[in-house]
Protein backbone atom coordinates (compact mmCIF):
# COMPACT_ATOMS: atom_id res chain seq x y z
CA UNK A 1 0.00 0.00 0.00
CA UNK A 2 2.85 2.34 0.89
CA UNK A 3 4.48 1.56 -2.45
CA UNK A 4 1.31 2.53 -4.34
CA UNK A 5 0.97 5.75 -2.33
CA UNK A 6 4.64 6.59 -2.93
CA UNK A 7 4.24 5.91 -6.66
CA UNK A 8 1.12 8.11 -6.81
CA UNK A 9 2.94 10.89 -4.93
CA UNK A 10 5.92 10.65 -7.29
CA UNK A 11 3.63 10.74 -10.34
CA UNK A 12 1.81 13.78 -8.92
CA UNK A 13 5.10 15.59 -8.34
CA UNK A 14 6.28 14.77 -11.85
CA UNK A 15 2.99 16.00 -13.29
CA UNK A 16 3.14 19.27 -11.30
CA UNK A 17 6.72 19.85 -12.43
CA UNK A 18 5.73 19.29 -16.06
CA UNK A 19 2.77 21.65 -15.71
CA UNK A 20 4.99 24.35 -14.23
CA UNK A 21 7.44 24.00 -17.13
CA UNK A 22 4.64 24.29 -19.70
CA UNK A 23 3.10 27.27 -17.87
CA UNK A 24 6.43 29.06 -17.59
CA UNK A 25 7.36 28.54 -21.25
CA UNK A 26 3.83 29.24 -22.54
CA UNK A 27 2.43 28.26 -25.89
CA UNK A 28 3.94 29.40 -29.15
CA UNK A 29 1.04 31.85 -29.57
CA UNK A 30 1.68 33.34 -26.12
CA UNK A 31 5.38 33.71 -26.90
CA UNK A 32 4.65 35.38 -30.25
CA UNK A 33 2.13 37.72 -28.61
CA UNK A 34 4.69 38.72 -25.97
CA UNK A 35 7.37 39.30 -28.63
CA UNK A 36 4.96 41.36 -30.74
CA UNK A 37 4.00 43.47 -27.71
CA UNK A 38 7.69 44.05 -26.97
CA UNK A 39 8.31 45.12 -30.57
CA UNK A 40 5.31 47.47 -30.51
CA UNK A 41 6.51 49.06 -27.28
CA UNK A 42 10.00 49.51 -28.74
CA UNK A 43 8.53 51.04 -31.93
CA UNK A 44 6.36 53.45 -29.92
CA UNK A 45 9.31 54.43 -27.74
CA UNK A 46 11.54 54.95 -30.77
CA UNK A 47 9.13 56.51 -33.30
CA UNK A 48 6.14 57.68 -31.30
CA UNK A 49 2.54 57.68 -32.39
CA UNK A 50 1.26 59.62 -35.40
CA UNK A 51 -0.44 62.81 -34.24
CA UNK A 52 -2.59 64.44 -36.91
CA UNK A 53 -2.64 68.22 -36.94
CA UNK A 54 -5.28 69.02 -39.58
CA UNK A 55 -7.71 66.11 -39.01
CA UNK A 56 -8.44 65.97 -42.76
CA UNK A 57 -9.70 62.36 -42.73
CA UNK A 58 -12.07 63.08 -39.85
CA UNK A 59 -13.38 66.16 -41.67
CA UNK A 60 -13.81 64.08 -44.83
CA UNK A 61 -15.70 61.33 -42.95
CA UNK A 62 -17.90 63.98 -41.33
CA UNK A 63 -18.63 65.64 -44.70
CA UNK A 64 -19.48 62.31 -46.33
CA UNK A 65 -21.74 61.43 -43.39
CA UNK A 66 -23.57 64.74 -43.74
CA UNK A 67 -23.99 64.24 -47.50
CA UNK A 68 -25.34 60.72 -46.94
CA UNK A 69 -27.94 62.20 -44.59
CA UNK A 70 -29.58 64.19 -47.43
CA UNK A 71 -33.13 62.72 -47.72
CA UNK A 72 -33.58 63.42 -51.44
CA UNK A 73 -30.06 62.61 -52.67
CA UNK A 74 -30.56 61.24 -56.21
CA UNK A 75 -28.05 58.59 -57.25
CA UNK A 76 -27.57 55.99 -59.99
CA UNK A 77 -26.87 52.36 -59.05
CA UNK A 78 -25.15 49.63 -61.04
CA UNK A 79 -24.75 45.91 -60.44
CA UNK A 80 -21.40 44.39 -61.19
CA UNK A 81 -21.68 41.48 -63.63
CA UNK A 82 -19.58 38.33 -63.63
CA UNK A 83 -17.41 39.96 -66.29
CA UNK A 84 -16.64 42.82 -63.87
CA UNK A 85 -18.52 45.38 -65.96
CA UNK A 86 -21.35 47.47 -64.57
CA UNK A 87 -24.98 47.14 -65.60
CA UNK A 88 -27.58 49.76 -64.77
CA UNK A 89 -30.00 48.92 -62.00
CA UNK A 90 -31.62 52.33 -62.17
CA UNK A 91 -31.99 55.70 -60.50
CA UNK A 92 -31.93 55.47 -56.72
CA UNK A 93 -32.24 57.58 -53.59
CA UNK A 94 -29.15 57.78 -51.39
CA UNK A 95 -26.46 55.16 -51.16
CA UNK A 96 -26.84 51.42 -50.52
CA UNK A 97 -27.00 49.86 -47.08
CA UNK A 98 -25.36 46.53 -46.30
CA UNK A 99 -28.07 43.87 -46.19
CA UNK A 100 -27.64 43.11 -42.48
CA UNK A 101 -27.76 46.74 -41.27
CA UNK A 102 -29.99 47.07 -38.22
CA UNK A 103 -31.71 50.01 -36.54
CA UNK A 104 -31.59 48.29 -33.16
CA UNK A 105 -28.67 46.76 -31.31
CA UNK A 106 -28.37 43.09 -32.32
CA UNK A 107 -26.76 42.33 -28.95
CA UNK A 108 -27.52 43.19 -25.38
CA UNK A 109 -25.44 44.48 -22.52
CA UNK A 110 -24.34 41.70 -20.23
CA UNK A 111 -25.59 41.78 -16.64
CA UNK A 112 -22.86 42.16 -14.04
CA UNK A 113 -23.36 38.55 -12.89
CA UNK A 114 -22.64 37.36 -16.46
CA UNK A 115 -19.32 39.21 -16.84
CA UNK A 116 -16.14 37.14 -17.03
CA UNK A 117 -14.51 36.55 -13.66
CA UNK A 118 -10.97 36.50 -15.04
CA UNK A 119 -10.82 40.26 -15.70
CA UNK A 120 -10.82 39.71 -19.47
CA UNK A 121 -11.97 42.60 -21.64
CA UNK A 122 -15.55 42.74 -22.81
CA UNK A 123 -16.29 44.66 -26.01
CA UNK A 124 -19.83 45.92 -26.47
CA UNK A 125 -21.20 47.15 -29.80
CA UNK A 126 -22.29 50.73 -30.21
CA UNK A 127 -24.15 52.43 -33.06
CA UNK A 128 -22.57 54.61 -35.70
CA UNK A 129 -23.35 58.35 -35.37
CA UNK A 130 -26.35 57.84 -37.68
CA UNK A 131 -27.82 55.44 -35.10
CA UNK A 132 -27.38 52.31 -37.24
CA UNK A 133 -25.57 49.08 -36.47
CA UNK A 134 -23.60 48.02 -39.56
CA UNK A 135 -22.40 44.45 -40.07
CA UNK A 136 -18.68 43.69 -40.11
CA UNK A 137 -19.08 42.29 -43.62
CA UNK A 138 -22.01 41.66 -45.91
CA UNK A 139 -22.38 41.05 -49.64
CA UNK A 140 -26.11 41.71 -49.86
CA UNK A 141 -27.29 45.29 -50.37
CA UNK A 142 -30.50 47.30 -49.96
CA UNK A 143 -31.16 50.27 -52.26
CA UNK A 144 -34.14 52.58 -52.77
CA UNK A 145 -34.90 52.12 -56.46
CA UNK A 146 -37.09 54.70 -58.20
CA UNK A 147 -39.80 52.94 -60.25
CA UNK A 148 -41.52 54.11 -63.47
CA UNK A 149 -43.98 56.20 -61.44
CA UNK A 150 -41.17 58.07 -59.65
CA UNK A 151 -41.74 56.27 -56.34
CA UNK A 152 -38.73 54.99 -54.40
CA UNK A 153 -39.12 51.37 -53.29
CA UNK A 154 -36.64 49.06 -51.57
CA UNK A 155 -34.75 46.57 -53.72
CA UNK A 156 -32.48 43.82 -52.42
CA UNK A 157 -29.37 42.63 -54.30
CA UNK A 158 -27.06 39.75 -53.41
CA UNK A 159 -24.33 40.88 -55.81
CA UNK A 160 -22.01 43.85 -55.68
CA UNK A 161 -23.75 47.21 -56.11
CA UNK A 162 -22.00 50.46 -56.95
CA UNK A 163 -23.80 53.76 -56.59
CA UNK A 164 -22.80 57.14 -57.99
CA UNK A 165 -24.07 60.69 -58.04
CA UNK A 166 -25.56 61.39 -61.52
CA UNK A 167 -22.75 63.76 -62.55
CA UNK A 168 -20.04 61.43 -61.28
CA UNK A 169 -20.63 58.17 -63.16
CA UNK A 170 -17.93 55.53 -63.61
CA UNK A 171 -15.68 55.52 -66.65
CA UNK A 172 -17.53 54.40 -69.82
CA UNK A 173 -15.07 51.52 -70.32
CA UNK A 174 -16.38 49.97 -67.08
CA UNK A 175 -20.04 50.16 -68.10
CA UNK A 176 -21.69 47.33 -70.03
CA UNK A 177 -25.17 48.90 -69.80
CA UNK A 178 -25.68 52.53 -68.82
CA UNK A 179 -28.77 54.11 -67.29
CA UNK A 180 -30.73 56.28 -69.69
CA UNK A 181 -32.86 59.23 -68.73
Residue 129 has pLDDT above 80, yes or no: no
Distance separating alpha carbons of residues 115 and 123, to the nearest angstrom: 11
User: Which region, left, alpha or beta, applies to residue 150 given φ > 0 means left and ψ of -120 to 50 means alpha?
Assistant: left
- Domain ranges for the chain: 72-111+126-177
- Give residue-wise pLDDT tens across range 32-55: 989 999 988 898 899 888 888 899
User: What pLDDT score does 121 carry?
Assistant: 60
78: nearest Cα among 173, 147, 157, 18: 157
- For residue 144, which phi and psi values (nearest 5 degrees)? -100, 100
pTM of the full structure: 0.57
Query: 157, 79 in Cβ contact below 8 A?
Result: yes
Q: Which run of H or E residues covers position 162?
A: strand 161-164
Task: Report pLDDT for 170.
Answer: 83
Amino acid sequence: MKIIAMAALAASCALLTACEQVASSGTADQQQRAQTEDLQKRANDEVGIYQPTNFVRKRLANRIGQMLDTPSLVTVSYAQGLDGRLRCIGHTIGFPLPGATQTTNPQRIAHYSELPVNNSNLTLPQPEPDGLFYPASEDATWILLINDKGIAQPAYFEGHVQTFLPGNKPDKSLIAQDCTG
